Chain A
Amino acid sequence: MSSVNIKWSRWFPLVPALALLTGILLVPLGKTLVDSVSTPAWTLKNYSNLFTDGVTMTVLGRTALTAATVTAIALLLGYPYAYLMTRVGPRARGILLVIVLIPFWTSVMARNFAWVIILQDGGPVQSLFELLGADHVVLYGTTAGVTIAMTQVMLPFMVLPLFSTLGSIDRRLLLAARGLGSSPTAAFWKVFWPLSRGGVMAGVVLVFTLSLGFYVTPALLGSPQESLVAQLLAQRTTLLLDFPAAGALGIVVLIVTLVLVAWANRVGGTVSAIGVVATSRPKDRP
């Protein structure tokens, strides 16, 4: 066997994976792109329409706002949680990690159905608000309800990058700061927070990006009047059958996502975190 043959034979096992990726993903996406600029004629009309149709921009704005809210809440809840994970003993840490992964691995439909029950008119959340004195709070069918449910699913993507960053910070630096006369709050903001910024960036971009593409949660818990971009995309595809217009919107969403992901990868370096979140285990040493 010549050396060239050996070189190529090493690539050979990749062929099925690449063929599948190309056939099922790249060709359909490429076709969508070509259709969006070539139908009905070779113009960018399908794209310029997105700006002028009066609907798309509103929906995109609402989607970005929802994603930003989800990200902010996830950071507020996820940071202390990840911090707590770095402080407790190995057994408690293992349990906290499994708990983080629960929303990720419980069935998407079961989880969304659970939120329908909880948020519905007459449901437990409404009863809770009534006990607190606020009558008839309806979260079902609102963007607020969608935001709450999305935050639950997105929290793992915030917690895990944060956990891996926070865990690597040497806590003796905090003790040093305290020893030099710093208050606990000042020690946190001047020493700990700057060191954790990489993880924060990674988590924030990851959660924001993934939140842009949610379909099932807004479709089940939101309202058609306040739809998010994924619903708009689905509607244009299956109801209006306007494939080129839907394609243009889809390509825009895809490009925004991939650019954000690539950027997050350079900043925080945890993009494959999605895969890692999915396959991470409390203990993974051979």
Chain B
Amino acid sequence: MTSPTKIGQVKTVQVDTGPALSRRRYTKVDPIPWWLKVLGGLVVAFFVLPTLVVIPMSFSDATTFQFPPKGFSWRLYENFFTNPVWLDALGNSFLVATLTAVLATVVGTAAAVALSRLQGRTAQFVRTLLMVPIVAPAIVVAVAVYISFLRWQLTGTVTGYVLAHTAIAVPYMIVSVTGALGGFDPQLLKASASLGASPLRSFVRVTMPLISRGILTGAIFAFIVSFDEVVIALFLRSPTFQTMPVQMYNSVTVEIDPTISAASSLMVAAVTIIFILPQLRRGRRGRRQESHADDT
């Protein structure tokens, strides 16, 4: 876990579920101090609570951001789903995020599969290079992309948004697929080739089914990365085309429009459903599989 890794080389954070000593025996000798649990609880609250304030806010009857919210109404949700400005922004975000997810899936999977079979300095360099979009500060990328896109007349266009978002989503896709390829046995491809399958057919029939979960995870990440991306979107926006996060930004900075609390609550709920629930389920399944592996 502590061994040095080169940039771009993928390391999965593995949760070791089997400590050296059995936990019960261990806690007697070496108990967890009470203050550590309290501190842990406070950090948990710091992680979870702040974001939750958007939910009571979304049922507020007030026309400002006042907290605690006043009264109870569905007015903000009604406004969100009837106001064309919000609906357009939502639709645009869905369009851009879907196209980004599709493009990033194709481009990223191809790159990850190729990289997994390549060794040497050049491959290492390419791997590092492909990770640059996640380490480069979003604002620098946004400014550079904005200046170039102005010249190429891509600002405020779906194409511009999709290209920019795909560029920053591909690294996540590569990390996800590379992780899935970790357990892939390349001998399977030799077997498939010896049986007369073309490389493409081998990929579709052998590799893809085995890494499908990594591809799906990556595609979901790509979708969320795009759907939630705000910095580049702020630069690429035009009066006629803007995405949800940009409209949310406007509603805080310019319009003081409390509809943003409904929008925020929906975003939080959506991400929870898309991302956190499968994680919990996968956690349970993983444990089951492991206990099964222990039996054999």
Instruction: Tell whether A and B belong to one assembly.
Output: yes
> Which A residues are in CB contact (< 8 Å) with B130?
17-18, 21
> Which A residues are in CB contact (< 8 Å) with B286?
282-285
Chain A: CB-nearest residue to B290? A285
A155 proximal to B (CB < 8 A): yes
Chain B: CB-nearest residue to A115? B50
State the CA gap A280–B15 with chains docked (Å).
10
**Interface size grouping (class) on chain B:** 35 or more
Pick from B47, B166, B244: contact of A155, CB under 8 Å: B47
State the CA gap A212–B136 with chains docked (Å).
11
Q: A20-B163, A275-B10, A278-B175 are in contact. Are A102 and B15 (CB under 8 A)?
A: no
State the CA gap A11–B117 with chains docked (Å).
9
**Min C-beta distance of A280 to chain B, whole Å:** 4
Asked if B114 and A16 make an inter-chain contact with CB atoms under 8 angstroms apart, the answer reads no
> Which A residues are in CB contact (< 8 Å) with B289?
285
> Which A residues are in CB contact (< 8 Å) with B148?
27-28, 31
State the CA gap A271–B26 with chains docked (Å).
33
State the CA gap A274–B131 with chains docked (Å).
10
Pick from B47, B174, B268, B280: contact of A152, CB under 8 Å: B47
**Min C-beta distance of A118 to chain B, whole Å:** 6
**In residues 56-93 of chain A, which contact B (Cβ within 8 Å)?**
77-78, 80-81, 83-84, 87-90, 93
Chain B: CB-nearest residue to A231? B139
Chain A: CB-nearest residue to B141? A25
State the CA gap A254–B221 with chains docked (Å).
25
Q: Give the segment of B70-78, B79-87, B246-254 that binds chain A.
A: B246-254
> Which A residues are in CB contact (< 8 Å) with B163?
20, 23-24
Interface class of chain A by DSSP: helix
State the CA gap A78–B46 with chains docked (Å).
11
> Which A residues are in CB contact (< 8 Å) with B3?
269
Chain B: CB-nearest residue to A109? B248
Chain B: CB-nearest residue to A184? B33
**Min C-beta distance of A61 to chain B, whole Å:** 17
Asked if A172 and B129 make an inter-chain contact with CB atoms under 8 angstroms apart, the answer reads no
Asked if A108 and B245 make an inter-chain contact with CB atoms under 8 angstroms apart, the answer reads yes
Pick from A27, A105, A113, A272: contact of B248, CB under 8 Å: A113
Asked if B167 and A99 make an inter-chain contact with CB atoms under 8 angstroms apart, the answer reads no
Asked if A105 and B275 make an inter-chain contact with CB atoms under 8 angstroms apart, the answer reads yes
A189 proximal to B (CB < 8 A): no
Asked if A14 and B114 make an inter-chain contact with CB atoms under 8 angstroms apart, the answer reads yes
Asked if B136 and A109 make an inter-chain contact with CB atoms under 8 angstroms apart, the answer reads no
Asked if A24 and B137 make an inter-chain contact with CB atoms under 8 angstroms apart, the answer reads no
Pick from A32, A210, A273: contact of B147, CB under 8 Å: A32
Asked if A265 and B6 make an inter-chain contact with CB atoms under 8 angstroms apart, the answer reads yes
Q: A88-B32, A258-B135 are in contact. Are A110 and B170 (CB under 8 A)?
A: no
Asked if B4 and A269 make an inter-chain contact with CB atoms under 8 angstroms apart, the answer reads yes
A97 proximal to B (CB < 8 A): yes
State the CA gap A32–B260 with chains docked (Å).
35
Return the CB mask of A1-24 against B: 1 if under 8 Å, else 0. Answer: 000000001111110111011011
Return the CB mask of B276-296 against A: 1 if under 8 Å, else 0. Answer: 100110110111011000000
Asked if A164 and B133 make an inter-chain contact with CB atoms under 8 angstroms apart, the answer reads no
**In residues 168-192 of chain A, which contact B (Cβ within 8 Å)?**
168, 170-172, 174-175
Chain B: CB-nearest residue to A232? B139
State the CA gap A248–B65 with chains docked (Å).
38
> Which A residues are in CB contact (< 8 Å) with B190?
none
Asked if B114 and A11 make an inter-chain contact with CB atoms under 8 angstroms apart, the answer reads yes
> Which B residues are in CB contact (< 8 Å) with A114?
50-54, 264
Q: A12-B114, A216-B230, A265-B4 given. 9 additional CB < 8 A pairs?
A: A20-B166, A102-B51, A115-B50, A168-B1, A234-B139, A237-B235, A281-B282, A283-B287, A283-B290
The 4 residue pairs across chains A and B that have the minimum distance between CB atoms: A213-B137, A283-B286, A110-B264, A269-B4
A-B contact pairs, 26 of them (CB 8 A): A10-B114, A12-B114, A14-B110, A18-B129, A23-B163, A98-B279, A99-B48, A105-B276, A110-B267, A111-B51, A116-B252, A165-B2, A175-B29, A220-B253, A230-B139, A234-B143, A250-B139, A266-B4, A269-B3, A271-B131, A272-B8, A279-B176, A282-B279, A282-B280, A284-B179, A285-B14
